[in-house]
Structures are given as structure tokens and as C-alpha cells.
């Protein structure tokens, strides 16, 4: 466990980030006991209250467990953490984690299909203006990054129309992961956000109140990025052989 001294100006966040990185990288595996608060403070060059605050954040995130007797034990983040950890997982040291990205694309495909179906059941013609307007805003863009933003706005309206607090909160979490990685995802997302016809088909199905057609249209649209990702990964594997 190679700890680095922390700049006092960055304190609790930097302590939290460094310990979290050690956990994600396996340097602090599940079941490992963290050094005592005093030892961590000395090793990192920070105050004990700073370490205590960082530890409280880790405990709140489900990443450590404080046991009887004062020992702080690392938990398996795969079993204990929530979606708020995804932003740290998808971009590691400035690079996309392809396994995490694949999982996100799979989740958005499943979630998007069901959200579209609920939107058709609960919205119908009442959302014609907002959905058609979102599609036209998307069609007016030529820049890939601008198209990603407009596509995100379109889905924001669809989630609103679905009127499900659980799907809304899940969408918020996935959006928090997606937005910082938009530039890195440009190649994967370009084909999807360029298929204006599929966005129109989805909007039309929701407006018509056809839940079956909406689910099918959403699946067809969202599968585009998944297919593009699989193709990209295959090409990368071929080029490294």
C-alpha cells in the first residue's frame, strides 16, 4: 500500500480519492483492515479530522465497515457500492474501462426499452410537441457532441413522460456517468445520434400510445451504440494480435 503525502489544500477529497483508488485497483482488497486513523494521518501528511471525514465518506458510500473494536474493514465495492461509483469506474486515469462501458450500454438498452413503453402508456398525444421538438433540435445539429447533448435532452423528456421516480433516479445516475465521458464516447455514439429516423420512429410510437412499438423502437435505436462498441472492440483486438 504505497501512500503519497497529500497537499493540505486538497484535503478530505484527496484522501478519499486516494483510498478509493487503492480499493478499485485491488491494493486494498475486500476484507483488508485500513491502518488506524493516526497512522493514515501521519502517512498522508494531513490532520486526523481530515482522515476521519474521508473515512466517513467511504463508510457512507458502503465501501468500508467500521467493526466493533474500531477496525475499519474494506468491503467489496461490487457488492456494497451504488451507481454513484460508476463515474470513477468508467474513466480510470483518463482511459475508458471497456468492461464498464459495455455494462452501461447493456443497462441503458434494457432501461430505455422499458421507459419508452411506459412513456407510450402514460404520455400519448399530450407529449407530441415536446418530443417532436426534441427530435427536430437533434436533426438540426451536425456536430457529434452537440447531437449527443440533444439526444440526451430527448431521453430526458421520455423519462419525464414515463412518470417513474425509480427510472428517473436511475437516469440521473447514468447521465452523471455519461456527460463527463461524452468526448471519449463520441466514436461509439456517433452512429446512434445520427439516426434521426429512429428517434422519429420512437417519438411517433410514444405519441401514438403504442407501448409495444415504443419498446421495439427504443431497442432498435439503443442497440446501435452497442453494436458500434462491439465492432470497435473487435477491430482493436484484431489490430493487437
Q: Render pLDDT for 107-136 as a digit per residue (tens, 0 to 9).
A: 999 999 999 999 999 998 999 999 999 999
Q: Is the pLDDT of residue 3 over 70?
A: no
Specify the pLDDT at position 90: 85
Q: Hunting for cell 411506459 — which residue is that? A: 118
Specify the pLDDT at position 2: 60
170: exposed, middle or buried (Cβ count in 10 Å: 0-12, 13-18, 19+): middle
Q: Mean pLDDT score of the chain, rounded to an integer?
A: 89
Query: Looking at residue 75, what DSSP letter applies?
Result: -
**Taking the C-alpha atoms of 116, 117, 123 and 124 in order, what is their torsion angle to the nearest 10 degrees?**
100
89: exposed, middle or buried (Cβ count in 10 Å: 0-12, 13-18, 19+): middle
Is the model more confident about 232 or about 201? Answer: 201
Q: Render pLDDT for 19-67 as a digit per residue (tens, 0 to 9).
A: 999 999 999 999 999 999 899 999 999 999 999 999 999 999 899 998 8
| Alpha helices (H) in the chain, listed in sequence order | 11-24, 37-44, 48-60, 77-80, 86-90, 98-122, 128-139, 144-162, 165-178, 186-193, 196-207, 211-240
Q: Render pLDDT for 155-195 as a digit per residue (tens, 0 to 9).
A: 999 999 999 999 999 999 999 888 888 888 888 899 999 99
Q: Is the pLDDT of residue 78 over 80?
A: yes
Answer whether 46's CB lies under 8 Å from 8's CB: yes
Which of 45, 37, 48, 40 has its CA nearest to residue 1? Answer: 40
CA distance 137 to 91: 29
23: exposed, middle or buried (Cβ count in 10 Å: 0-12, 13-18, 19+): buried
Is the model more confident about 7 or about 17? Answer: 17
Percent of all residues in the chain with a pLDDT value above 90, rounded to a whole number? 63
Specify the pLDDT at position 161: 97
- Reduce the DSSP state of residue 48 to 3 states and report it: helix
CA distance 107 to 225: 12
Lowest mean pLDDT segment, chosen from 5-14, 136-145, 180-189, 216-225 = 5-14
Cβ contacts of 102 within 8 Å, gap of 6 or more: 229
Amino acid at each position: 500500500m504505497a501512500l503519497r503525502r497529500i497537499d493540505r489544500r486538497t484535503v478530505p477529497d484527496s484522501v478519499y480519492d486516494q483510498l478509493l483508488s487503492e480499493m478499485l485497483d485491488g491494493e486494498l482488497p475486500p476484507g483488508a483492515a485500513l491502518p488506524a486513523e493516526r497512522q493514515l494521518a501521519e502517512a498522508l501528511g494531513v490532520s486526523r479530522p481530515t482522515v476521519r471525514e474521508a473515512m466517513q465518506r467511504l463508510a457512507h458510500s458502503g465501501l468500508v465497515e467500521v467493526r466493533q473494536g474500531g477496525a475499519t474493514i474494506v468491503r467489496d465495492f461490487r457488492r456494497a457500492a451504488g451507481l454513484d461509483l460508476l463515474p470513477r469506474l468508467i474513466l480510470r486515469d483518463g482511459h475508458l474501462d471497456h468492461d464498464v462501458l459495455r455494462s452501461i450500454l447493456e443497462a441503458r438498452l434494457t432501461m430505455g426499452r422499458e421507459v419508452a413503453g411506459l412513456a407510450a402508456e402514460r404520455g400519448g398525444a399530450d407529449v407530441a410537441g415536446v418530443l417532436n421538438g426534441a427530435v427536430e433540435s437533434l436533426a438540426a445539429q451536425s456536430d457529434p457532441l452537440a447531437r449527443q447533448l440533444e439526444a440526451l435532452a430527448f431521453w430526458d423528456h421520455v423519462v419525464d413522460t414515463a412518470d417513474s421516480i425509480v427510472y428517473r433516479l436511475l437516469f440521473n445516475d447514468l447521465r452523471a456517468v455519461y456527460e463527463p465521458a461524452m468526448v471519449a464516447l463520441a466514436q461509439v455514439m456517433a452512429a446512434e445520434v445520427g439516426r434521426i429516423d429512429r428517434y422519429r420512429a420512437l417519438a411517433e410510437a410514444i405519441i401514438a400510445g403504442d407501448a409495444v412499438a415504443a419498446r421495439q423502437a427504443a431497442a432498435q435505436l439503443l442497440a446501435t451504440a452497442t453494436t458500434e462498441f462491439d465492432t470497435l472492440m473487435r477491430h482493436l483486438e484484431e489490430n493487437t494480435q
